[in-house]
Structure 1
Amino acid sequence: MIGGIVVGWLWTRMARTALDKLAQGQGDPAFLRAKIASCAYFMKWELPKAMAVAPRLSMMDRSWIDITPGELLA
């Protein structure tokens, strides 16, 4: 989950930079628009997948913690 959130943050930073460059008339407009579109795709389709795991992680299920080393090797 944290990986998806970090990638989302990175995409947000890249899209912000692309928007700034477009506004200033810098860089290749097609490339910058593609960067922004890629960010939008990630936010719409990929980030929700990462966030869907959050409720399961917050349940504080101890089943994996309570396993003894002997049970793992059995």
Structure 2
Amino acid sequence: MACADFGVTFRNEPDALQAKQFSSSIRVLEDEINELRQIMEQTYTEQKTFSSEVVIEISQRLDTKINEYMRFKVRSIQ
């Protein structure tokens, strides 16, 4: 097994630090997106309509987070 299999690095490379920060940031965004989806689903169940002001507001917040996530992903592959 290689040292990389254990997450060990011997160089303090900026790329390694950026990859770790990227991974952490992506996970945070994914968690926020999942939480907003759950809140929106629950709110829809309570309101019984997608046109409710509250559901629309949550949906817009969710859209913003999804857009942020997609921009983050695009930047990571460039």
TM score, norm. by length of structure 1: 0.48
Q: Which has the greater radius of gyration?
A: 1
Task: Select the structure that is richer in helix.
Answer: 2
Q: Scaled by the length of structure 2, what TM-score is found?
A: 0.46
